[in-house]
Structure 1
Amino acid sequence: MNDALTTFAPPRSPMPTDTPAAHIIAITSGKGGVGKTFVSANLAAALTRRGHRVLVLDADLGLANLDVVLNLHPKITLHDVFTGKAQLDDAVIPAPGGFSVILAGSGMIEYSRLTPEVRSEFLNVIHTLAPRYDVVILDTGAGISDVVLFSISMAPEVLIVATPEPTSLTDAYAAIKVLSSQQKRQHVRMVVNQTARAGDGRAITSQLQQVLDRFVTTESGKPVRLIHMGDIPADPSVRDAVMRRQLLLQQMPGCPAALAIAQLAGKVESTLLTPAA
């Protein structure tokens, strides 16, 4: 692994102190196929319903699929911005659910390695757009590649999505370990998707915390803290919404998974977006 990754420390504030900055949240996962982009899109819709100005940035440059989830066909994407063919403002488009998105688009595979140019372009996007929103969600790629880790490093808060499957939890553990050791993360927030029973996600988070307590310590000498943010139950409505390329919160707002997303938005709002008294 590139030694340069050790320099990816999460910024306390990616914006100058005199500039109003959004709350930046990276949503990631140890492995693909666990519903990370589904969570990003529907969480954005739920936060928008709560009155927040939200932008979702498709930071999965190699295997972007936010456009598929939202059934969007943008004329301008990050690819056009990075290659100088379009202005950044022109790549920001409205999404179903009332939030804004900037999509990676096709042809971004050449940006799947972290180069000084990719780093500079990413930072420019964040520095330019963050002051305009209350929340910026970075829908990152899965795993621990240098591009994924760099995109996560731009966010003070990281939310890792996992399922109860052993492979997902093993990869989630590996990702958390890297975030702790290389980015000096003191805590990571967790959502468990596709749970079978109420309480499963909290129990899984507790079990994973025990493993972290035993094998992973932060720079302060204390174990990295895993914060359980919520569960999303296994729900056939999710597959139906994904197949229809519609937001679950719009298609089936009363289904169990949609209600869980709404609860997650409330938890995000109360713990991350509400100023401390």
Structure 2
Amino acid sequence: MNDALSPPSSAPATPPAALAPLPGPLAARIIAVTSGKGGVGKTFVSANLAAALTRRGYRVLVLDADLGLANLDVVLNLHPKVTLHDVFTGKAQLDDAVIEAPGGFSVVLAGSGMVEYSRLTPAVRSEFLNVIQTLAPRFDVVLLDTGAGISDVVLFSVSLASEVLIVATPEPTSLTDAYAAIKVLATQQKRQQVRLVVNQAARPGDGRAITSQLQQVLDRFVTTDSGRPMRLVHMGDIPADMSVRDAVMRRQLLMLHMPGCPAALAIAQLASKVDTTLLAPKGA
């Protein structure tokens, strides 16, 4: 494990430009769901967590922040008439891009394969920031389903959130890339902590062990501006479950398709922890 988590030498060539912080009440309810590596179930987690939080009484928006390789529409089996591409190019109004998803939450979807959004240009930055500032006050929770990795577009999306959920699987490549992403969030965005969700866990307790091992590497190699190591908070495990594959192939939400399966129960527990640790204190 430790060999797999040795610090990678690569990092973004240039850090994202400094971003003025969003107003406190606006930022307090924005949560970025991201990952170091693609294919770990990040969008699956975002969509099903949104459904679980909606069941708990929250008004939830999932914003597809993977502007170049969006697939939230595929996971939800939606065929939007208006996407962020249409909003950014002035072909449609933002309100027309907000649609209801199965599960009762709202989504704003991005088109796939748009090369012009693979880099953080001033226009993309401005348009995306306007979307966040316009929509966030209408909801209790905004989940940003970002792209994977540490590109400038991903880091900009994450910078808009007050909390970060890193999704990783137990595979060494996923953990190594998760470490790289966490290190960048500590050094470039000055974050003191991020939260980890371990997907496709083979055994109960795997996630806590993985979090502990990652924390040891962070303690050794990553120091925040405060002089303290980056804190990694274990938020929960989602067990490997054949029901997940079945739901994904059917393009159905697991929380609706098989709400009693082990993975769905784990997502419900994750929603409970998000509620009690991130959301309830904000409204107290």
What TM-score results when the alignment is normalised by the length of structure 1? 0.95
Task: Determine the C-alpha separation between the residues in 1 that align with 2:83 and 2:240.
Answer: 33
For the pair 1:143 / 2:149, whether they are aligned, the reply is: yes
Matches within 5 A, 1:13-28: 14-15=22-23, 23-28=29-34
Q: CA RMSD in A?
A: 1.4
Task: Determine the C-alpha separation between the residues in 1 that align with 2:87 and 2:97.
Answer: 7
1:258 deviates by 0.0
Q: Which runs of 4+ in 1 moved over 4 A?
A: 19-22
**1:5 counterpart (16, 29, 32):** 16
1:105 deviates by 1.6
Question: Identity across aligned pairs (percent)?
Answer: 83
Deviations 1:224-259 (A, max 9, x none): 000000000000000000000000000000000000
Retained in 1: the 8 A contact 2:27–2:161?
no
Equivalence for 1:275:
281
1:2 deviates by 4.6
1:108 deviates by 2.5
Task: Determine the C-alpha separation between the residues in 2 that align with 1:20 and 1:33.
Answer: 30
**2:75 counterpart (69, 74, 77):** 69
**1:114 counterpart (120, 123, 147):** 120
Retained in 1: the 8 A contact 2:28–2:162?
no
Equivalence for 1:154:
160
**2:202 counterpart (196, 199, 217):** 196
Equivalence for 1:51:
57
Retained in 2: the 8 A contact 1:160–1:191?
yes
The farther-off stretch of 193-202 and 106-115 is 106-115
Task: Determine the C-alpha separation between the residues in 1 that align with 2:115 and 2:131.
Answer: 18
Task: Determine the C-alpha separation between the residues in 1 that align with 2:178 and 2:147.
Answer: 13
Relative to structure 1, the CA distance from residue 20 to residue 110 in structure 2 (aligned partners, 3 Å threshold; closer, same or farther) is: closer
Retained in 2: the 8 A contact 1:79–1:107?
no
For the pair 1:99 / 2:108, whether they are aligned, the reply is: no
For the pair 1:123 / 2:129, whether they are aligned, the reply is: yes
Show structure 2 runs of 5+ residues with no match.
Answer: 1-11
**2:84 counterpart (63, 78, 84):** 78
Task: Determine the C-alpha separation between the residues in 2 that align with 1:81 and 1:204.
Answer: 41
Relative to structure 1, the CA distance from residue 162 to residue 21 in structure 2 (aligned partners, 3 Å threshold; closer, same or farther) is: closer
Q: Which letter does structure 2 place at the counterpart of 1:177?
A: K
Q: Which letter does structure 1 place at the counterpart of 2:14?
A: D
SS of 2:16's equivalent?
Answer: helix
Equivalence for 1:88:
94
Retained in 1: the 8 A contact 2:15–2:188?
no
What TM-score results when the alignment is normalised by the length of structure 2? 0.93
1:20 deviates by 6.2
**1:133 counterpart (125, 139, 148):** 139
Aligned length: 272
1:109 deviates by 2.3
Task: Determine the C-alpha separation between the residues in 2 that align with 1:127 and 1:8.
Answer: 14
Task: Determine the C-alpha separation between the residues in 2 that align with 1:118 and 1:156.
Answer: 21
Equivalence for 1:261:
267
1:103 deviates by 0.2
SS of 1:61's equivalent?
Answer: coil
